[in-house]
Structure 1
Amino acid sequence: MLKFVDLFAGIGGIREGLKLAFQRRSIASECVFSSEIDKKAQETYELNFGETPAGDIRLVEELPDHDIMLAGFPCQAFSYAGKQKGFADTRGTLFFEIERLLGNAENKPRLLLLENVRGLTTHDGGRTYAAILLKLERLGYGVCSLLLNSSNFGVPQNRVRLYLVCSLGRVPRLSIKSDLGAPDSHKFKRSLLQDGLFHSNIKYPRVSNILEEHVDKKYLCTPLFVERLTRALKGKPLESLHGVRLIDYRGGNSLHSWNLGMKGICAENEIALMDALIVNRRKKYFGSHQDGKMLTMEQIRTFWPHQDVEETLASLVQKRYLKSAGGKYNPVCGNMSFEVFKFLDPSSIAITVVSSDAHRLGVVQNGVPRRITPRECARLQGFPDEFALHPDDASVYRQLGNSVSVPTVAAIFEDLIMNNELPFDRHLPRKSSCNLLCEAS
Structure 2
Amino acid sequence: MSSNAAGFTFSDLFAGIGGFHAALHAAGGRWVFASEIDKDAKAVYDYNWLRPLRESGAKLPEGVKFEVSGDIVELTESEVRVPRADVLAAGFPCQPFSKSGFQRGMDETRGTLFWNIAKILADPEKRPSVVLLENVRNLAGPRHRDTTFKTIVMTLRQLGYRTASKPAIFSPHLLPPSLGGRPQVRDRVFILAHYVGRDRAESKECFDDPITAGLDLKWRKTDWNLRRDLPLLPQQRVERKYELESAELKIIDAWDRLLAEVAQRLEPGERLPGFPIWYDDFRSPAEAEDMIDAAELRGEPYPRWKRDFLRKNAFFYWRHRAVIDRFRPELDSFPPSRRKFEWQAGDAKPLSETIMHFRPSGIRVKRPDYVPALVAITQTSILGDERRRLTPRETARLQGLPDSFEFMQTTDRGPIKQRDAASYKQMGNGVNVGAAYYVFREYVLAHSNEISRVSPQVVESVKSCPANPDERFQP
1:129 aligns with 2:149: yes
Q: How many residues align?
A: 359
Aligned to 1:116: 135
Partner residue in 2 for 1:404: 431
Deviation at 1:302, TM superposition (A): 11
What's the offset of the Cα at 1:128?
0.9
Contact 1:343 1:361 in 2 (8 A): no
**Aligned mate of 1:101, from 120, 127, 137:** 120
Q: Deviations over 1:255-278 (max 9, x none)?
A: 87x6xxxxxxxxxxxx9x83988x
CA displacement at 1:65 relative to structure 2:
1.9
SS in 1 for 2:252: helix
> Aligned match of 1:230 in 253, 267, 270?
253
1:401–1:275 distance in 2 versus 1, CA, 3 Å: farther
Distance 1:137 1:427, change over 3 A: closer
SS of 1:164's equivalent in the other structure is strand
2:191 maps to: 164
What's the TM-score, normalizing by structure 2?
Answer: 0.62
Mapping of 1:422-433 within 5 angstroms?
Answer: 422=452, 423-425=455-457
Aligned to 1:147: 169
SS class of match (2:318):
coil
Question: How far off is 1:126 after superposition?
Answer: 2.0
Q: Do structure 1's residue 18 and structure 2's residue 37 form an aligned pair?
A: no
Contact 1:14–1:406, Cα closer than 8 Å, also in 2: yes
CA contact (8 A) 1:340 1:362 kept: no
Deviations 1:46-87 (A, max 9, x none): 11112431111110032212211111111436859679xxxx
- Partner amino acid, structure 2, of 1:349: Y
After TM superposition, give the deviation of residue 114 of structure 1 in Å.
0.6
> Which amino acid is the alignment partner of residue 351 of structure 1?
P
Output the amino acid matched with 2:120.
L
Partner of 1:349: 370
CA contact (8 A) 1:362 1:372 kept: yes
> Of Structure 1 and Structure 2, which has the larger fraction of its residues in helix?
2
Task: Using the TM superposition, give the Cα deviation of residue 209 of structure 1 relative to its aligned residue in structure 2, in angstroms.
Answer: 2.6
Q: Deviations over 1:165-198 (max 9, x none)?
A: 100015699994247989xx9x832xxxxxxxx4
Instruction: Measure, in 2, the Cα distance between the counterparts of 1:427 and 1:338.
Output: 48
> CA 1:383 to 1:172, structure 2 compared with 1: closer, same or farther past 3 Å?
farther
Q: For 1:80 and 1:231, locate their aligned partners in 2 and report how far apart those are by CA, in whole Å.
A: 41
Partner deviation per Cα, 1:63-122 (whole Å, 9 max, x = no partner) = 212211111111436859679xxxxxx997110111122223424211000111111123
Of 399, 404, 407 in structure 2, the residue corresponding to residue 381 of structure 1 is 399
SS of match in other structure, 1:218: helix
Q: 1:71 and 1:7 mapped to 2: Cα distance?
A: 5
Gaps of 5+ in 1: 23-28, 84-89, 190-197, 199-203, 241-249, 259-270, 324-330, 432-441
Distance 2:185 2:104 in 1: 29
| 1:373 aligned partner, one-letter code | T
Distance across 1 between alignment mates of 2:390 and 2:193: 36
Equivalent in the alignment of 1:328: none
- Residue 93 of structure 1 aligns to a residue whose secondary structure is helix
SS for the counterpart of 1:229 is: helix
**CA gap 1:255/1:52 in 2 versus in 1, 3 angstroms:** farther
Checking the alignment, whether the CA contact within 8 Å between 2:284 and 2:318 is kept in structure 1 is: yes
Aligned match of 2:422: 395
Q: Secondary structure at the match of 2:155?
A: helix
Aligned-pair CA distance for 1:223: 2.9
Give the distance between the partners of 1:343 and 1:399, measured in 2 at CA.
23
Structure 2 CA distance for partners of 1:398 and 1:295, relative to 1, 3 Å? closer
Match of 2:414 in 1: none
Aligned residue identity for 2:32 = V
Give the distance between the partners of 1:307 and 1:10, measured in 2 at CA.
49
Query: Is the partner of 2:438 in helix, strand or coil?
Result: helix
Distance in 1 between the 2:106 and 2:424 partners? 33
- Structure 2 match to 1:37: 37
Task: With the length of structure 1 as denominator, give the TM-score of the two structures.
Answer: 0.67
Q: Is the 8 A contact 2:12 2:88 kept in 1?
A: yes
3-state SS of paired residue (1:414): helix
Task: Say whether residues 1:188 and 2:221 are aligned partners.
Answer: yes
Please report the RMSD computed on the Cα atoms of aligned residues, expressed in angstroms. Answer: 4.8
**2:354 matched to which residue of 1?**
none
Task: Please list every run of 5 or more consecutive structure 2 residues that lacks an aligned counterpart in the other structure.
Answer: 1-6, 51-65, 98-102, 176-180, 264-271, 294-300, 342-356, 409-417, 465-475
* 8 A Cα contact 2:441 2:462, kept in partner: no
CA distance in 2, matches of 1:163, 1:212: 31
Of 259, 273, 282 in structure 2, the residue corresponding to residue 274 of structure 1 is 282
Q: CA deviation at 1:141?
A: 0.2
Q: Which amino acid aligns with 2:184?
A: Q
Aligned match of 1:8: 14
Corresponding residue for residue 242 of structure 2: 219
Percent identity of paired positions between Structure 1 and Structure 2: 27
